[in-house]
Chain A
Amino acid sequence: MDTGSLIFILSVAIQSSTAVLFATIGEIFTERSGVLNLGVEGMMLMGALSGFAATYYSHSLFLGVLASMVVGGILALIQGFFTITLRANQVVCGLALAILGIGLSSFLGRPIIGRVAERCVAFPVPVLQEIPLAGPVFFNQNLFIYFSYLLVPCGWLFLYHTRPGLSLRSVGENPTAADTAGIPVIRIRYLWTIFGGSLAGLGGAYLSLSYTPGWKENMTSGQGWIAIAMVIFALWNPLRAVLGSLFFGGINALQFFFEARQFTFIPSYILRMLPYLFTIAILVITTHSKSARRRASAPASLGLPFQREENS
């Protein structure tokens, strides 16, 4: 394979993985606090729609990104209110949120289907883009992607090497103990649920403002669900999330490459199924692998509501 093809595949792999990466990082933080939010697909779609709509009407990419994060956060707040305060079943609430987001985005987005707005274009980093191979792959991307380069290590540092990160993890593992230690369990759960929602919204905005500019019904095509699967693959660790998203992006990139080169030995419908089959495969491998299970498992109180025992 020539260098040009390699650069194409690698840089498209990064581009295809970014939306999933944002949503995965967000969901990792949400789940680390003990809240399972299955509504990622809905939040991403609403983020994609509101990001595109805000940019279309205000001609400002910044406002678009802001809108997508606010809307994602508000949807997550609904999930938070029902599961944290009302202690409703997290699985059903999350599914309801996903359905609501899918329906609402399809309803509200009808008038702007096919419109064209500003898009976030590639912004080569001076000097760094000169590096052979790595330059054009990593440093000829857009601001969303550079932001993800920052987000991942910062998220990892925060989670494992700071005091608030420790509080966050303790709330997800043993909220009663955390509560006894004076950590505000409810506030922390709300905070990180909303944070997860805004990142899912940001992932959506990346799709509608950069990756496939414009609004189309169900344009996330399951990436929200894939992100939830990637959280499991990542063993709730932001660094491993990069690996999972890049695998996903790589499969997408190969699909583009095959289609561009008109390789027909794999029929296109099989190619389109691959990202989903691949995600299932890595779920199976992660769940089955003993070393993964030894290293980390889900936060112990994931999915369980927290309630102080008041009268006992």
Chain B
Amino acid sequence: MVVSVLLALLMGALVFLAAGANPFKAYAVMGLGAFGSLYDVSEVLVKAIPLIFCGLSVALSAKILLWNIGGEGQLAVGGIGAAAVALFLSPHLPPALTLPVMILAGFLAGGLWASIPGVLKAKMGVNEILTSLLLNYVAIFWLEHLYFGPWRDPMGMGFPGTAIFPESAWLPRFFQTRVHLGLILCVLLALVLQWVFSRTQWGYEMRVIGENPKAARLARINLTRYTLAVMFVSGGLAGLAGMAETSGIHYRLQQGLVVGYGYIGIIVAWLSRLHPIGVLFVAFFLASFLVGGDQLQAVMHLPSSVGLVLEGTLLFFILGSDFLSKYRLRVIFKCQAPHLK
């Protein structure tokens, strides 16, 4: 694991060199940007929140060998659902109820969106990787249409975005930072998922499906029902990421809601080996790349997408190191084999 991180950083250094920047300086800027002060660390937590939701979303579906890579679109639709409540329903709701209803709406919206690939997979066997991914583009066009068009703030003087939500629709923030209540929510959900995976019959049956679908069918585990339920909940989790971003950070629908968290969620889930508690730590770690990358853009005018590059490379090296740890014994055995004969 440590070696993989170092190798990924080494590859990153090559990328910096290719872009004509001093890699030591670049990494120093990134490290300082992510951990230089308490406020920077709080910013890492802010970015970790959507990554945790999306990571849990992918981890849950991958547990039963489903690839929900539509986190990006489900996040967008979750944001739309939450915004619909904040903009149109909140005047008719008691203020204390606004946030719970928004959370519910974000979850439902994301869940229903993910149920499209879910139903297609469960009922007709359509490849869920492609359907969930293609729906990302559809969701993003829909989101853009809403804030450029019918939901655009009439007082916004042409600003592409909805009106600011009423304050009852804002997730409370902690200690003058941008860290909001979404953090508690996603940590709680990680604990719940961990409990489901390790202590319930659902978790057990999901493990059976994941490790041996044939055995699961013979044991009369209802694969169709699990596919439908898991895709719904998985989409709901990604939808909550959208809800948390709109209601905790932006306070409106606008550009910058959909920035790749859904894709990074795949990396988060895989690096944590589909382990909900692991997702928390991996998301924090990868979020530091994102915050560091933003600093890089501000200080050295290098594109912040270097975060994505480092994370993609890291995933490759982790996949490679899996091989080494799995097959080390085998390699030694092969070398000795001629003498044994």
Contacts and interface: CB of A to CB of B under 8 A. Distances in A.
Contacts of A102: 263, 308
Contact of A222 (B129, B134, B313, B337): B134
Interface in A67-119: 78, 82, 86-89, 91-93, 95-97, 99-100, 102-104, 106-108, 110
Contacts of B124: 284, 287-288
Contacts of B315: 92, 96, 99
B227 to A, nearest CB: 15
Contact of B142 (A86, A108, A269): A269
Interface in B246-283: 263-264, 266-267, 270
B204 to A, nearest CB: 23
Contacts of A276: 134-135, 137-138
B334 interface: yes
A232 interface: yes
Contacts of B141: 269, 272-273
Given A106-B308, A107-B306, A287-B127, A225 B319 contact: no
B57 to A, nearest CB: 14
A266 interface: no
Which of B125, B135, B145, B312 has the largest number of chain A CB atoms within 10 A?
B312
Interface in A262-312: 267, 269, 272-273, 276-277, 279-280, 283-284, 287-288, 310-311
A99 B311 contact: yes
A221 interface: yes
Given A103-B305, A107-B303, A225-B134, A93 B127 contact: no
A283 B126 contact: yes
B15 A107 contact: yes
Given A82-B316, A99-B266, A273 B305 contact: no
Interface residues of B, number: 48
Contacts of A225: 130, 133-134
Contacts of A107: 15, 19, 302-303, 305-306, 308-309
A284 B312 CA distance: 31
Nearest to B134: A276
Which of A99, A267, A284, A311 has the largest number of chain B CB atoms within 10 A?
A99
Nearest to A284: B126
Contact of A88 (B144, B313, B319): B319
Contact of A283 (B69, B131, B142, B270): B131
A88 B303 contact: no
B322 interface: yes
A246 interface: no
Contact of B144 (A97, A100, A221, A269): A269
B175 interface: no
Given A103-B309, A283-B131, A96 B137 contact: no
Contacts of A284: 120, 124, 126
Interface string B274-318: 000000000000000000000000000011011111011101100
Nearest to B131: A280
Contact of B316 (A96, A110, A272): A96
Interface string A193-235: 0000000000000000000000000000110011011001000
B303 A232 contact: no
A108 B136 CA distance: 25
The SS class assigned to the A binding surface is: helix
A38 interface: yes
Contacts of A222: 133-134, 136-137
A273 B313 contact: no
Nearest to B58: A95
Contact of A229 (B134, B145, B266, B323): B134
B154 interface: no
Given A91-B129, A276-B137, A288-B124, A100 B270 contact: no
Interface of B: 15, 18-19, 67, 69, 120, 124-127, 129-131, 133-138, 141-142, 144-145, 149, 263-264, 266-267, 270, 302-303, 305-309, 311-313, 315-316, 319-320, 322-323, 333-334, 337
18 contacts: A92-B266, A93-B319, A99-B266, A99-B267, A99-B315, A100-B308, A104-B15, A110-B302, A222-B134, A222-B136, A225-B130, A225-B133, A228-B130, A232-B130, A269-B141, A269-B142, A279-B130, A279-B134
Q: Identify the 4 closest CB pairs spanning chains A and B, nearest first.
A: A103-B308, A100-B312, A269-B145, A86-B323
Given A93-B319, A97-B312, 8 more contacts: A86-B320, A88-B322, A96-B319, A100-B316, A110-B302, A222-B133, A269-B144, A287-B127
